[in-house]
Structure formats: C-alpha cells, structure tokens
Amino acid sequence: MNSNDAKIHIYVWPERFLYLGPSTKTTSHRNHAATWLIAREGKLRVTLSVGGAVLENQAIYLPSETEYATDLALSNIAALYWEPESASYRRAMANTDNVPRAYACPLANSGELLKLYDDQTTRDEADEILQRIFGVERLREGQPSFFDHRINSALAFLRDSPEAYDSIGALSARVHLSPSRFAHLFKKVVGVPVRRYVLWLKLRRALDLAIAGDSLTTAALSAGFADSAHLSRSVRAMLGVAPEFLFRQRERLIIHQ
C-alpha cells in the first residue's frame, strides 16, 4: 500500500466537503448534499433505490436527495459533497445538461486526483484541481458584488461562535436588521441561506474538535448540537456517512486548511 493510501484527507469549505480515503459499502440512503463519487482506480458501482438502475464507472454524480446504495470499491475514493442551495453549486452546474439526473461517466483527467492526496495541498489549490477535474468555471465563491458591514459582522460572530447561533431572529437583531431583510442580504452576500451556512460551520467545528481528541459527545455539544445523536443525524443527512467512522480514523486524518 502506498503511504498516502493509509491517510484520509478532508477538505472543508462553508458549502462543500471533500473526502479522500477508503470506501464503504452502504445500504440505501440519501444525502441532502449533491454528491460526486470518484474511484481512484477502477470503477464504482451504485444502485438507485427508485427504479433499481445501476450506475457503474469511475465517476458517479448523484443529485441532492437521491436515494442510493454503494458497493465497496477496490481502491480509495474521492467523495465531494456540495450544498445544493449554494451559489457556487448553481454556478458550477449551470451549463451541465445532465442535472438533475444521476449519471456515471469516465474521468479523462483523473491524474489530477493524486494532487489532492498531497499533505501540503491547500483548499485554494484544491479548488483549482476540482475545477479541472469537473470542467467547471468559477468554482470559488469569489467576492460579493457589494459590501455590507452588518452581514460582515454577523459572519464574524458565526465563524467565531457557530455554537452560539440561536435563530435568524436573534442574529438579525444583533446587526439591527429585520429577519426577512437579513436573510435576503445574507444569501446575496454569502451565497448560502443562513441555516445551511451555520450547519456547515457547526459540522466543521465538531470535526475539528473530534480530531483534536474530544469525544463525539463533547464535540457535538461544543459545536452547538443538542447531543451526539443530533450530530450524527446531521452528518448522515448532509453527507450520508456516519461521523463515528471518521472519528475512529482520527489518527489517519489530514485536514487541509
């Protein structure tokens, strides 16, 4: 086994999560996130629950809320989970004829995947690699067309203390906006609805804490989840994977900043 194959690489953005590591055989489940699965070598096999169609190739795309089961892959996989409500997802998929259908296809530039296994690859560099792999443009969010100090203040609060988020009403009151106006401005500036943005931040915080050595329960509570079961349900709903699997592998994990 290559030394890099023993590691699990994780890239986390506010609206995306990229996992590189061993595959698992799954029963029928669905993800809120739109999902790409890519075999490092060989092919993947996915069975759609509705209709029973089988998708088999090196890369498989599954739209949000698609119910499916996976077979165990012979090699490591890359799994990209993307918030379907985000502006970056909508931009990336705007010119893709196959959306919203699930499909399987070969990957002509799969050699780019190997660069994601480099311990020193940053998230910005990963953006460029993913852009070349999927042939999409403007993958990164970029700068908003205007600056609003109230939204900037809310973002600073959320990034520092995502566990302190209570409701959109309380957050909008902090920056002296009505809930409806705040929600509109937030999505316009950030590209993701408030509740989805906060959930991704909480998932990232819980992941960081667990990898640092906290128990699943402590990580969940510190990140603002009601308990470890709430965290597990959220991770499964977003990504279709159990957080316990990642936490058991914490000594092998590399988080790319």
Cβ atoms 1, 207 nearer than 8 A: no
Please state whether beta strands 54-57 and 253-256 pair in parallel, antiparallel, or not at all (unpaired).
unpaired
In whole angstroms, give the CA distance from residue 224 to residue 237: 17
In whole angstroms, give the CA distance from residue 143 to residue 229: 36
Exposure string for 217-254, b = 16+ CB within 10 A, e = fewer: eebbbbbbbeebeebbebbbebbbbebeebbeeeeebb
Structure tokens at 220: 């969940």
Per residue of the chain (257 residues), give pLDDT as tens: 454 557 889 888 878 889 999 888 888 988 888 999 999 989 999 999 999 999 999 999 999 989 999 999 988 999 999 988 888 888 777 766 555 689 999 987 778 888 999 999 998 899 889 888 876 655 554 444 457 899 999 999 998 999 999 999 999 999 999 999 999 999 888 888 899 899 988 988 888 888 788 888 999 999 999 999 999 888 888 777 777 777 777 778 888 86
In whole angstroms, give the CA distance from residue 248 to residue 199: 22
pLDDT of 3 reads 46
Q: Is 121 helix (H, G, I), strand (E, B) or coil?
A: coil
Q: Is 135 helix (H, G, I), strand (E, B) or coil?
A: coil
Within 13 A of 32's CA, how many CA atoms are on the CB side? 15
Q: Is 117 helix (H, G, I), strand (E, B) or coil?
A: coil
Q: Which fold has domain 3-134?
A: Jelly Rolls (2.60.120)
pLDDT of 183 reads 94
pLDDT of 1 reads 44
Please state whether beta strands 44-48 and 54-57 pair in parallel, antiparallel, or not at all (unpaired).
antiparallel
Closest to 75 (Cα-Cα) out of 126, 20, 155: 20
In whole angstroms, give the CA distance from residue 71 to residue 54: 11
Cβ atoms 185, 153 nearer than 8 A: no
pLDDT of 143 reads 47
In whole angstroms, give the CA distance from residue 105 to residue 69: 18
pTM for the whole structure: 0.82
List, in sequence order, every residue forming a beta bridge with 10; answer none if it has no partner: 19, 255
